[in-house]
Amino acid sequence: MKKHILPLLTVCMYCFTLQAQDDPYQWLEEIEGKRSLEFVNAHNKTTLQKLQQVKEYEAIYNKSLEINNSTDKIAYPKVWGEFVYNFWQDKAHVRGIWRRSSKQNYMMGKPAWETLIDLDKMSAEDNVKWVFKNAVGLYPQYNLFLVSLSKGGGDAVVVREFDVSSKSFKKDGFILDEAKSDIAYVDEHTVVVGSDFGPNSMTTSGYPRQVRLWERGTPVSQAKLIYESDSTDLTGFCEVLRERNNQYLFVTRALTTTTSNTFVWLNNQLIKLDIPDDRTLINIDLSLLNNQLIIRLESDWTVNEKTYKQGSLVSLNLQELIKGKKEVSLILQPDAFTSISGIATTQSRLLVNVLSNVKSGLYAFSLQGGKWEKQKINAPDFGTITLEFANFSSDDYFFSFENFLSPTTLFSGNALNATTRSLQSLPAYFDAAKYKVEQYKARSKDGVMVPYFVVSSKEFQYNGKNPTLLTAYGGFGVPEQPYYSGITGNAWLNNGGVFVLANIRGGGEFGPLWHQQGLKEKRQHVYDDFHTVAGALIEKKITSPKHLGIFGGSNGGLLVGVAFTQRPDLYNAVVCAVPLLDMQRYNKLLAGASWMGEYGDPDIPADWAYIQKYSPYHNLRKDVRYPEVFFYTSTRDDRVHPGHARKMAAKMTDMGYPVLYYENTEGGHAGASTNEQRAQENAMRYAYLLMKLR
């Protein structure tokens, strides 16, 4: 057998090189290129005109704008010291305001908001379309903040230090030019920072590879280098964890989105922690409580002759771990139908959001005599819980609850006594009494049962004629859970549509294994699961191919791109948003190289052998009856390159297939920066679906 390997690899490498050079649409990867923007502008005009002619377009736009601009929206809190901070957008604040109220008034339901930064005013003065991204405060007074602002909504940000007492940016404060940066206070005079420090300071994925300590009053170029990752790593980043009177500076070498090394900076040296490298960076961050470092295991881990199962939540004595000794305590071991979807720490408790058969439950854990004791928190059932905010300085915390038919409600809780109370709920944007939710399971190609939710009118008939929208994500261990959307309720359900959410593999609905079954060479499982759910909807006569549409964004955009190229017979409408589509060049475009742990490396022939089987851009064929696809992306998306959608639309057009294409000139990977842009995106999406599926 060995004598055949070299000739085969030689032939494969020749074909690979030939294919990589033979891309007549590569000019569309030039984001601000004249020809590229001419292509964008021409398609934008045609697409918008066509969709605005759908009779429901204007009503959907107006209702979406009304919902997004509503003053009844929930003001989600971030608590720093005695104040609650919040970012807010409405009709009067198009680009938004960053504001604060006393915690006491906020908890009483009577916040007295004080505006700190007015982004509309700032944008007008600077002639920049500023988008608020984040703010990190200086413990313990929180009189200074590191504010991250994006130009147009991309991931790259400008960082400026803000003084809340004077409501102004410090001219001599910590300032970073536009880059993909992470930064945190160590103390009043020092920050730990990862950013673009010049040549060779960024990884091939476009993220920082250097971590530095930067002293106030000195140039960032002179900041002390404490860690440098390899250029081919995903990134090297820093975080400061505090508990009670202790503070630790953690440095993470992220090799991929699923593997990393963790270090502690102590006494001017980095100490590598002996914990598993396969720590997912997407959902569960490091947490610290009572000297216990808390991690979720992505695979079985044997320590001191005891095995802790995959998906378990465990803790380690940090002081002993720094010395090289592992003292492990089991917090929670989920079963096959359960996963840990989120954790947070308060002053004395660990909060754990547990997902059981895609429904949330919330628990508080305390360390008693070396063992973790569990207490159920009084929270609503049969829906989705999101831990909104908690920190080490108090046992107060905030979480939200929602499901398809219950408007989102914000709760406050106290972790010591497990009590909760509702603070604010969204109004009912549609009459939920007319609808029902059912959960089914379908058997995928390899026998695995895949759950999905169906939201429909109580009066709907199993006649195969119902306009149905199917959506999923299927990647990076991210679970898809029930959520409340007034826009979906008004634009889709109220217009006779059925909404379906599928919990396919690649996500995190059933723990790390559910994710790992969709990685790299196993990726086809994700797409088989999606095809299976679509087939089940047709078999049950909920809908038929003529009335079935699909939507996905980002990795979900790749999902629906694969769906319509592999099974064009199943769908009559496809909304493909901010997608990956050219899987041969994805690792060379913007942040694409950071996802090779998920998809594989197309530059390796063995990886390309399985990637090319599903890459939508490479699997378009002539004389196939594809649906008329609606591609949506953003010029300012600096995560997933707009060239993916551009090239796919151009290729399909030249092959004679009609497509709709729209590219927002700002918005970043979210696709929109203002409520007007969000309303337009929603109106286009649902107008298209109604046009195609009724």
Q: Which residues are catalytic?
A: 554, 669
Q: Please, what is the end-to-end C-alpha distance for the chain in angstroms?
A: 56
* Residue closest to 237 by CA, chosen among 204, 268, 202: 202
**Residue 532 corresponds to which amino acid?**
T
Cis peptide bond prior to 451, omega within 30° of 0: no
Q: Copy the structure tokens of residue 186.
A: 């160590």
Q: Copy the structure tokens of residue 566.
A: 């592999």
* Residue closest to 634 by CA, chosen among 663, 601, 606, 662: 663
Q: Who's near 606: CB < 8 A, 6+ residues apart?
A: none
Q: Who's near 400: CB < 8 A, 6+ residues apart?
A: 74, 76, 385, 386, 388, 408, 409, 410, 411
Residue by residue, what is the 3-state secondary structure of 77-123?
CEEECCEEEEEEEECCEEEEEEEEEEHHHHHCCCCCCEEEEEHHHHH
Residue by residue, what is the 3-state secondary structure of 53-84?
CCCCHHHHHHHHHHHHHCCCCCCCCEEECCEE
Rounded CA separation 641/661 (Å): 15
What is the spatial order of strands in the sheet that 359-368 belongs to? 338-345, 350-356, 359-368, 371-376
Rounded CA separation 129/666 (Å): 8
Rounded CA separation 573/468 (Å): 10
Rounded CA separation 267/260 (Å): 23
**Distance of CA 248 to CAs 144, 174, 366, Å?**
20, 21, 21
- For residue 302, give the 3-state DSSP assignment: strand
* Residue closest to 287 by CA, chosen among 334, 340, 336: 340
**Residue 35 corresponds to which amino acid?**
R
Half-sphere exposure of residue 14: CA atoms within 13 angstroms, side-chain side: 6
DSSP string across 466-500: --EEEE----TTPPP-----HHHHHHTGGGT-EEE
* Helix intervals (H) in 612-674: 643-654
* Residue closest to 646 by CA, chosen among 48, 23, 51, 26: 26
* Residue closest to 160 by CA, chosen among 172, 144, 176: 176
DSSP string across 382-395: SSEEEEEEE-TT-S
Rounded CA separation 631/646 (Å): 8
Q: Copy the structure tokens of residue 368.
A: 């008693």
- Are 177 and 194 in contact by the 8 Å Cβ rule? The answer is no
Give the DSSP letter of residue 309: P
Q: Copy the structure tokens of residue 603.
A: 């530059």
- Are 464 and 547 in contact by the 8 Å Cβ rule? The answer is yes
Rounded CA separation 474/416 (Å): 36
